[in-house]
Amino acid sequence: MNDSFSLEQTQSFSHPEAIILSSFPQDRLTRGVQISTGLDRLKFGFYVEFQNEILFDLLGQAKARAQETRQVVPIQLGPEFDQYYNCHATGKNGGYAFHISRADVNVFISTRKDYMDTPNVWVDIGSVSCWAPGYNTVVAQIGNLIRMHGGTIHKNSVSEVHLCADSIGQDIRELGLERYDHWITRANKFFSYYDHSRQKFSGITWNQSEGDLGNLSAYTGVVTETGISVGQGDIMLRVYDKVLEIEKNDAKQSLFASVWHRDDLEGVQVTRTEFQLRKTVLKQFRIKTLQDLYEKLSALWTYCVTDWARLCTEPFDRSNRHQDRAKIHPWWQRLQELQWIGDESASRRKCMPTKNKRQLEDMLVGVALNLAAIHGYTGNSHDRISIWCQEAIASALDTKAKKIDKDTGKSELQARMEQKVNEVWPYGFGEVHGPNAIDAERGYPGAPLGG
């Protein structure tokens, strides 16, 4: 089956049948305390087969000028306005030799030949461009640019997405977000933020990286930043004063005033709720491509505001068995009721290997016995049998390690290892972190996680 994208498919990104599009649309508002929803950042990669090196030559010349002048160099990659970019003097780790950008869209391009193993065009669409002209339009523009320069897009993969909801007219200080004992969450780190110059609460951050929730008092603290620190974690919630965050950025103020249907932001209160989901957790939802993301946006949001984090109206005892009876804050209930595009159900599941470990071990024992028999051994000493097997494996691996592919620079051993990892872990390594067996015994909502 040929999974290459056609020109029509790439152009359809800006239409309702697209690979991915804005959520109903990106600036749709609800009644009452109005809520605007959409994506605030999107990172993904294209797997592109280039028929020639014309694009590489153009970028190479522009990069050389950028290095010489020590500043970005404008470059015209096509006749349309959206094909005007800035070329940077450096690329990106991972073999991406070229970096071009326009507004807050950054595109990194690699010349490597193994385009089916790793994306050779990596795209980061920032907040402003996600809202205007819209991330679906940006995806289409980049797809058209690739085709114009002889590239065929075979597939794509998503590495990070930010889902957000802006509560317009909601004063963040009225919600009591800084009370960590009001939160039911699978996170294990909590931070609150204040604007010290005004003694004003400005937001909170929940992180989930490794381990269980533990003693939250060790993670709480007051910092001086008015912005929100990204931190670490495959899934993260940030709730903050959006107007305060953009008050020194005139371009963003103008953009979001339009998104929120306001003439200006004078006296406007907006509380931003933003979930950041990285590749590891997306794979646990079986989201690998832009199409997967489009189909499961609604399920992702539901998981985030129902299973991963909930704000309650009062403190609760984390050790009791009835946390599912905690009263959810009315504002958070509004967030739970939001509808996004995508009607496919999805659940966060532990990643399991596709190969049977015990079956492979039985096969290995059979190989070891055959090797011993070939050497004329008739005994039952497992040490001697193991030695012959280890020597044979070491010799074969050494041979493959010495064979280097001149096009990719990889050894046959490295290429085979990457192939096996992709076969065994198609949705990524590891397990879902969060509630453990003890949490399940105590009635922690959502525990234990399904396999």
Domain positions in the chain: 7-24+38-160, 165-336, 357-424
Q: Which residues pair with 239 in a beta bridge?
A: 204, 273
* Contact in structure between 131 and 23 (CB atoms under 8 Å): no
pLDDT tens profile 245-273: 898 889 899 999 999 999 999 999 999 99
- Which segment of 35-39, 88-92, 221-225, 314-318 scores lowest on mean pLDDT? 221-225
Q: Which residues pair with 152 in a beta bridge?
A: 49
Higher pLDDT, 161 or 439: 161
Residues 6+ apart with CB under 8 A from 97: 56, 59, 63, 91, 109, 110, 111
Amino acid at 357: K
What confidence category does residue 370 fall into, taking pLDDT thresholds of 50, 70 and 90?
A: confident
Query: In this predicted structure, what is the pLDDT of residue 114?
Result: 85
Query: In this predicted structure, what is the pLDDT of residue 64?
Result: 97
Token digits of residue 129: 């461009």
Measured distance CA(21)–CA(123) in Å, rounded: 16
* pTM, to two decimals: 0.71
What confidence category does residue 226 fall into, taking pLDDT thresholds of 50, 70 and 90?
A: very low
Give mean pLDDT, residues 165-174: 92
* Contact in structure between 264 and 254 (CB atoms under 8 Å): no
Token digits of residue 202: 């400005």
- CB atoms under 10 Å from CB of 36, counted, come to 23
- Which segment of 173-177, 328-332, 394-398, 415-419 scores lowest on mean pLDDT? 415-419
Tell me: pLDDT of 46 over 90.
yes
* Contact in structure between 336 and 328 (CB atoms under 8 Å): yes
Q: Which residues pair with 163 in a beta bridge?
A: 39, 275
How far is the CA of 442 from the CAs of 139, 446, 448, in angstroms? Answer: 46, 11, 11
Q: What is the DSSP letter of 411?
A: B
What confidence category does residue 426 fall into, taking pLDDT thresholds of 50, 70 and 90?
A: low
Measured distance CA(352)–CA(428) in Å, rounded: 9
Query: In this predicted structure, what is the pLDDT of residue 318?
Result: 62
Q: Which residues pair with 258 in a beta bridge?
A: none
- CB atoms under 10 Å from CB of 419, counted, come to 11
Amino acid at 65: R
Token digits of residue 73: 């160099």
